[in-house]
Amino acid sequence: MAPHSAIGAIGAAVYLDCKITLMSDVGQAFDALISIEVELGKIKQVYLSAFSAMRPDTDYRLIGIESQVNPGKLAELSDPIFYPGRQITLADGRLCAVEDLKPGQKLLSQDFAEQNVTCIEIKTQRTQGKNRPIWISESYFGTDRDLIISAEHRILYPQTDGSHGEQFIKAMHLYNGTTIDWLEAGFVESVQIRLPQSI
């Protein structure tokens, strides 16, 4: 724990324990990281950091646990990462490719709030193992170009059990080896958007 931290004991060790997937009573699924604060060999506190806003007085169902977590996920808690070509909704309703965003532009968050872009960082990311993004052919969704998205990015997809409605499915679970595949190992550019709050 850092000296300026508002929670926890200063100097205590904090470990990333696992990643969990939760679902709200209205079917919204999202991930969260669980960290533990350890002092003198004993667990003092357990912290949950969600990738989506959690609503008070709402029940959430635990639908998944992953004990092996890439520490890089911590960076996504505050600043979301996308890949070139991804369309972002601006506050005025227009779409803009993420790589064309400029500081000062206003984005529309998932809860329909406006947020200002403070900084855009384009980085070169090594693609290997679980860090490999998913490639989706333009023919699959009928888009005007191929898509490259995070393997854990959730896509609104029709129910596959014959029931009505849609569900959010991680891109990695749509893999078919032809029109949806893991990006080849190597390097790819990623775009990190810095915001006052995560979108």
Q: Is the pLDDT of residue 1 over 60?
A: no
Give the side-chain half-sphere CA count within 13 A for 86: 22
pLDDT of residue 5: 66
Q: Is the pLDDT of residue 156 over 80?
A: no
Q: Is the pLDDT of residue 78 over 50?
A: yes
- Please name the amino acid found at residue 145: R
% of the chain with per-residue pLDDT over 70:
81
Beta bridge partners of residue 88, listed in sequence order: 96
pLDDT of residue 34: 92
185 phi/psi in degrees, rounded to 5: -60, 140
Q: Is the pLDDT of residue 12 over 60?
A: yes
Tens digit of pLDDT for each residue in 14-59?
A: 888 998 988 887 777 788 889 999 988 889 999 998 877 677 788 8
Nearest Cα residue to 136 out of 154, 125, 149: 149
What CA dihedral angle connects 63, 68, 74 and 80, to 10 degrees?
-60
Tens digit of pLDDT for each residue in 64-75?
A: 898 888 776 665
The rounded distance, in Å, linking the Cα atoms of 122 and 196 is: 18
Mean pLDDT of the chain: 81
For 118, residues 6+ apart whose C-beta sits below 8 A from its C-beta are: 103, 194, 195, 196
pLDDT band for position 184 (cuts 50, 70, 90): confident
Q: 145 near 136, Cβ under 8 Å?
A: no
The rounded distance, in Å, linking the Cα atoms of 178 and 196 is: 39
Which parts of the chain are beta strand (E)?
Answer: 13-24, 29-39, 42-50, 60-66, 81-82, 87-89, 95-97, 106-108, 114-116, 119-127, 134-136, 147-149, 154-158, 166-170, 180-182, 186-194
Does the reported pTM lie above 0.75? no
